[in-house]
Amino acid sequence: MADGKSNANEQNLFKMNVRRSPPIIVHPAGDIKAGGTYFLSNLDQNLPVIMKTIYCFPATDRRAVDKVVGEILRTSLEKVLVHFYPFDGRLAVNDEKKLVVRLNGGGVPFVEATADCELELLGDVSIPQPEKLGMLVYCPQRESIFEMPLLMVQVTKFKCGGFIVGMAMSHSLADGLSTVEFLHAWAETARGLPISLSPFLDRSILTARCPPKPQFPNPAFADLSGSLSSVAASPFPSLPILHRSFSFDPAKLSRLKLLATDAGDDRPLPSTFAALAGLVWRSRTIALNTPSADPAKLLFAVDGRKKLKPPLPGGFFGNGINFACCLCPAGEIIDRPLAHTVRMVQSAIWEVSDESIRSTIDYYEVTRAMPSLAGTLVLTDWTRLGFGATDFGWGCAAQTGPAELPGMEVALFLPPAKGAKTGTTVVLGLSPPAMSTFQEIMDF
């Protein structure tokens, strides 16, 4: 049996009650640019979703928790927002029909809360548990994205003395690396230290060329909905989604890389990401019973900061990622060896360049197209971002993870699960029948 961990049984054996205080609206504690708008690049336009993450800090004797954690985190947040002032605004649409940040001083909601249990009882938080972990992130519903705060923070204290920082952030403001750099700057401020990496806020360096010159095909934007059979368009429509995590220790990763290599191939073994991406895409396609003639698409973010010419400045705050894409008939990845799928992933990575990123920026300028998720798997790799290195003064986070996944189309690669020091954890959601098949494939 594969080693997948589920959120359906052992993760829900206890009930947790969380009591929230009314939110305090936090503003930058200093002079900032007020009024007008803040420019968002074309790489920011396709990501107006809210990402919800949690950071777990066990009880420690390094600093008292009960009375000061909320005050320290709130006052340090006020200070660090001076450097990250766009979070104080709200999304809006300009005359060019593009997203910008309206610098209206809307502020950042900050909530203190208490839980009636021990932090340890949460178990492994790498598995999304929206009903439970959602209580640890303050993110009230709004009628539109233009009313939604761009950053929301909740600090929840547990009976044991540990606490969790829950954060909801607009992806239009920051990709994974920028989110981590913001967290580290906030943590340094909480410890009374100067910020070691100041944010570079001028996103106009990613402005489209004039005139725009899109010169590469953009399969990421291909809408496959009209080409999918009814089975692929709505697999298991009435069944619930089961989230499960799969741990890949170094030994299993080594086996996977050998499986992902053709016999007699003298090229270097594939990277961990390429091997896992090929495995997950192929296995999920099989598990969903995707007809061979249906198109299958894989999207994954590639950091373009160093691929651009010149590279983006250190501390660039925004989305510096470009979506690499694999697109083919499902039968091409189902009927051929895993090595073929992995080579497709490798080729997509190699194709991300200064020219292709500039072409994507210009393509949006001309078309205003959004990536389509029909028939698509979106992979997000958080293994090297360093979320867990955040230290507000009580030591680094013992665990971090998503409070929820945006949908069944998304899978995450995370650092090792609780209790492990090396390896990679894969998290995704599928219907129970598809998950059963997926888990069988993972057993190798």
| 3-class DSSP state of 319 | coil
Which amino acid appears at position 312 of this protein? Answer: L
Q: Alpha-carbon distance 297 to 141, whole Å? A: 31
**Length of the chain in residues, anyone?**
444
Catalytic residues: 171, 391
Question: CA–CA distance from 390 to each of 28, 42, 66, 189, 283 (Å)?
Answer: 21, 29, 20, 12, 34
Dihedral sign of CA atoms 258, 261, 267, 272 in order: negative
CA 381 remoteness from chain centre = 7
Scanning 26-175, the segments in alpha helix (DSSP H) are 69-80, 130-133
d(CA 397, CA 105): 31
Helix axes 338-350, 272-287, angle to 10 degrees: 120
Q: Provide φ and ψ at 388, rounded to 5°.
A: -70, -15
Q: Look-up: residue for tokens 């160093």?
A: 306
Q: Which DSSP string corresponds to 7-33?
A: SSSGGGSS---EEEPPPEEE--SS---
Q: What is the Cα Rg of the chain in Å?
A: 22
SS3 421: coil
- Cβ density class 186-220: b for 16+ within 10 Å, e for less: bbbbbeeeebeeebebebeebebeeebebeeebbb
d(CA 256, CA 269): 10
Three-state DSSP string of 396-436: ECCEEEECCCCCCCEEEEECCCCCCCCCEEEEEEECHHHHH
CB distance 387 to 400 below 8 Å: yes
Contact 419, 247 (CB under 8 A): no
What's the sign of the alpha-carbon dihedral 243, 248, 249, 251? positive
User: What is the C-alpha to C-alpha distance for residues 170 and 187, in angstroms, rounded to an integer?
Assistant: 20
